[in-house]
Structure 1
Amino acid sequence: MNGLWCGLIILLSCAFSGETGNRGNPHQPKTFTWKVINEAGDVASTSAPYTGASPQWPTLQVDLCHLAAGGNSYWGLPSNYLPIDKAPHGSGINERYVGCDTVHRRTNIRETEFYVCPGAHRDRALNYKCGYRDTYYCASWGCETTGDAYWKPSSSWDYIIVKKGWKNSQRNSTLTAECRNSDPNTKGWCNPLIVTFTEAGKKVTSEEWARGFEWGIRFYVTNRDPGLTFKIKLDIKNTSSSPVGPNKVLPDQGSPKAPAAPPAAPPSKAPMSPPRGHNSSTGSPVTSAPSTLSTLIHTVPPPLLGTLLLEIDCLISSVGPTKLLTNPILMTQSPVGCV
């Protein structure tokens, strides 16, 4: 009985292994999309989706004021949700500080330097010195790892480089044309940040990027240094395999057809052989092992077949199909407690 039971288990395990094997295929293509998330949790920017075995490292672009939408009220867009078509025009003619709610404040951003500090992926020994979100991770000088400022902040270990995507306006300049919401190209969003990945960032696993990393950005304004935080993460989706079928490019190919049956062989005189089921030398009966599951089932007496199926069902229910496949010892024994 153990031999028959083991045969059934092995045949059934093939079905389970075919189902679970695809799930763990490391070469199955995936679709990767990079996302920049603002303080409010809105997606401020996305990369073009890429399908392959591993992600690419594109240059990302995101407008600073999209990072400010729904965030700190200092920036003037605390109640806004993305996407926003046009930047607000505003009426703050005498605004002297950076911001997003008026064309003047957006122009001021273009006149101001900024620096960027890493979040929780930094060394924890820096937590006390560099602070947390409330200080945009830049509580002290020396915490910045990138940015666009006269002292050229940089790092050998951080994951991104952030630079301005605009040309500086002159100090106290008149309104920059790109910052007007009437501009057909920018619609007033005139402060794009350019984000590139460092070699250190490219060595981080896709699973870690899928959880995301956070940074803070601050602007070099006397006695103020306003800021905000943002997050970069990698969205990963499995792609489904396409079924193999007729080539649609060939219109006359048609659907697959079943192969024709081979012609019947002419009758011939076979040499005399002992009756089926007997040994030619001893005359004793012999048995042959069933070759298929169907043959196996039909050769098992109904009471015994029912017992085997009950044992199989009991074993799968008690240990699960995954453990059954990964522990070959279970396939050579009758299930304990299932008799």
Structure 2
Amino acid sequence: MALLVPALLLVLVTPAWDACNPHKPLNITWQLLGPRGNLVKQISRVSPPGVWFPDIVFDLCEIAGPDWLDSSGALGCSRKKDAAECLQKASFYVCPGWDRLMAWNCGGKEDYFCKKWGCESTGHMWWLPPVTTDLITLRREQDSVPANPCNRYPCNILHPEPIPHLCNPVRIVFTDQGKKATGWERGKMWGIRVYEGSHPGTLFTLRLVATAPTAGGQNPQEIGPNEILNQPAPPFPPPKELGCPQFIDNLRRARESLAKVRERLEKREHEQAQARFGDSWLVILISVLLGYLLVSVILLAFIRKRSSTVQLSEPQPQSIPDLVKETPPESGTQASERDTLFLNLEPGKSTLILKLVPKENTLLLESEPVKEICPGPKTGA
């Protein structure tokens, strides 16, 4: 029972998947139709859709019909005249009719979709076609033109017996745009006009028919698996023994490789050590410079603070001329060794004595009662 359910699901799912499989091979048939929808030629092959785009070779008179002639009767497909040979010497151009956007300018079937110049896309002509987005190209099959019986008679000359009129083979080749296009199942139409006289023309259609393979003998049969591909591969042959010379040579190469690796590692370590030393030296240098700078700043601050203390200076004589008097040097003392200044702050009370000893770099400040330095003349008795 456990195996029956998966088997039933596989049977039910397989047909649906097979019907939706875009890569399933089909009977692909390309049909060439004439101006009245008549089948002119078809080729078939079993292939997945969108893969097979064969070249189609046919004759212009196969689509135009045996009675097709120019209005002048000089060229065409008539059996009574050698018009086919004259048609073989003429140029022709092809205009696409499947593009409805070109219909307003290029006309319809009555103009063979070539109402104006500029609508032609391919053909056997000496100028470059202005339309370059067509789905096919159509050229003369020059190598397939038979020499006889088309060349037996001059153009437009009556001859007694009918002659074959298939003297204008052409080849249709699908372009890259044509291989990517869709809608071939509905058919796509073109018009052909001959560059002679009144420019006679005709129409042709290409159509794709895709059907599922029938039960006939032409259906593809599934084969496999491939027994040859599924056979186990022979084992690999054993490795050959290395002789002494080859072994020594390999060992030497290995040692050389290891030596090169070791040399590169040592070089890298040396570079890293140099980089680390350079970084540490720079840190030390910056630290020393910062230390010196800090000490210098501290010293300058200290010196500035010391220099800002209050210093006594010798008063100018012009400011206190009556208060300062210089005393003569005492006995036993040189004037150059000791200079004494008396500053009488309050006359009659006290005297401020300022003593300066130059050699000893000493400044003495004393105060004593007033005494007359230079007594004046006595009064009285």
Q: Cα 1:62–1:154, aligned 2, differ >3 Å: closer, same or farther?
A: farther
Distance 2:220 2:195 in 1: 53
- Superposition pairs of residues 85-124 of structure 1, within 5 angstroms: 95-120=73-98, 122-124=99-101
Alpha-carbon distance change, 36 to 53 in structure 1, aligned in 2, over 3 angstroms: closer
**3-state SS of 2:62 partner:** helix
SS in 2 for 1:163: strand
Q: Percent identity?
A: 27
Match of 1:128 among 75, 94, 104: 104
As a proportion of its length, which structure holds more strand?
2
Instruction: Say whether the 8 Å CA contact 1:99–1:108 is kept in structure 2.
Output: no
Q: 2:205 aligns with which of 231, 256, 271?
A: 231
Q: Which secondary structure does the structure 2 equivalent of 1:230 belong to?
A: strand
Does the residue aligned with 2:120 lie in a helix, a strand or coil?
coil
In the alignment, which residue of structure 2 is the partner of 1:256? none
Query: Cα deviations across residues 222-273 of structure 1 (Å, max 9, x unaligned)?
Result: 3x110011001112122258787999xxxxxxxxxxxxxxxxxxxxxxxxxx
Q: Residue 139 of structure 1 aligns with which residue?
A: 115
Partner of 1:161: 137
What is the CA–CA distance in structure 1 between the aligned matches of 2:19 and 2:190, rounded to whole Å? 34
Please tell me whether the aligned partners of residues 111 and 168 of structure 1 are also in contact (alpha carbons under 8 angstroms): no
Q: 1:128 to 1:101 in 2, by over 3 A?
A: farther
**C-alpha separation between the residues in 1 aligned to 2:32 and 2:222?**
37
SS at match of 2:17: helix
Inter-partner Cα distance in structure 2 for 1:216 and 1:46: 19
Q: Secondary structure at the match of 1:215?
A: strand
C-alpha distance 51-149 of structure 1, shift in aligned 2 (>3 A): same
CA deviations over 1:32-81 (Å, ceiling 9, x no partner): 121111112222122342433543222111111110138xx6449xxxxx
Q: Which residue of 2 aligns with 1:197?
A: 174
Deviation at 1:216, TM superposition (A): 0.2
Change (3 A) 1:167 1:244: closer
Residue 209 of structure 1, aligned match among 176, 180, 184: 184
TM-score (ref. length: structure 2): 0.47
CA contact (8 A) 1:28 1:239 kept: no
The answer for the alignment partner of 2:323 in structure 1 is none
| AA aligned opposite 1:229 | L
Task: Give the match's secondary structure for 2:142.
Answer: coil
Q: C-alpha separation between the residues in 1 aligned to 2:11 and 2:23?
A: 21
2:35–2:202: 8 Å Cα contact kept in structure 1? yes
* One-letter amino acid of the structure 1 residue matched with residue 75 of structure 2: Y
Deviations 1:306-331 (A, max 9, x none): xxxxxxxxxxxxxxxxxxxxxxxxxx
Cα 1:165–1:132 change in 2 (3 A) is same
Q: Distance in 1 between matches of 2:89 and 2:144?
A: 5
Q: Runs of 5+ in structure 1 lacking a partner? A: 1-9, 77-93, 248-339
Letter in 2 for 1:24: C
Q: Is the 8 A contact 1:30 1:239 kept in 2?
A: yes
What is the number of residues matched between the two proteins? 209
Structure 1 residue 147, shift from structure 2 partner:
0.7
Distance of 2:174 and 2:24 partners within structure 1: 25
Pair 1:24-2:17 in alignment: no
Q: Which structure is higher in RCO with an 8 Å CA cutoff and minimum separation 6?
A: 1
- Matched with 2:41 is 45
- Work out whether residues 65 and 100 of structure 1, in 8 Å CA contact, stay in contact via their aligned partners in 2: no
Aligned-residue RMSD, C-alpha: 3.8
Paired residue type of 1:210: E
Shift of 1:202: 1.1
**Within-5 A mapping of 1:320-331:** none
**Are 2:78 and 1:65 aligned?**
no
Residues 60 and 74 from structure 1, CA distance in 2 versus in 1: closer, same or farther, beyond 3 angstroms?
closer
Change (3 A) 1:244 1:97: closer
The one-character-per-residue Cα deviations of 1:63-103 (angstroms, maximum 9, x if unpaired) are 11110138xx6449xxxxxxxxxxxxxxxxx9423333434
- Partner residue, 1:219: 194
Larger CA Rg, structure 1 vs 2: 2
